[in-house]
């Protein structure tokens, strides 16, 4: 599991850096409700990205939020993530990609206004 560092959007612009997505256990980010995940898929098949909720209602765990990322040139942004629904006890959100071959990921943080 890789911990992804948020990259701040600035008024002067941001060219985000991407890292290879982590297999099976996924990637994590410290969530302050201003972060979103950007996933690029250069593989020949579409993938699914699942944001793992931590909320439990009436003893039932919430279903992960899944988003499809198209094959070859897929570039999808997911989030921000409400802390009450997605943060674990360390304020961390876990995001898991169904495949990581030719898949890169970045965490972008929105500025405070």
H-helix or E-strand spanning residue 97: strand 92-97
Q: Average pLDDT, stretch 24-38?
A: 94
- Cis omega (within 30 of 0) on the bond before 80? yes
Query: What tens digit of pLDDT does each residue of 4-29 get?
Result: 999 999 989 999 999 999 988 899 99
User: Distance between CA 56 and CA 109 in Å, rounded?
Assistant: 26
pTM over 0.85: yes
């Amino acid at each position: 599991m890789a911990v992804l560092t948020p990259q701040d959007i600035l008024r002067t612009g941001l060219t985000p850096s991407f890292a290879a997505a982590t297999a099976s256990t996924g990637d994590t980010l410290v969530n302050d409700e201003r972060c979103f995940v950007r996933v690029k898929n250069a593989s020949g098949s579409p993938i699914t990205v699942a944001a793992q909720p931590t909320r439990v209602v009436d003893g039932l765990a919430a279903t992960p939020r899944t988003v499809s990322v198209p094959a070859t040139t897929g570039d999808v942004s997911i989030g921000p993530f409400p802390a009450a629904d997605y943060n674990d006890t360390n304020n961390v959100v876990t995001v898991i990609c169904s495949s990581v071959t030719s898949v890169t990921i970045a965490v972008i943080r929105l500025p405070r206004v």
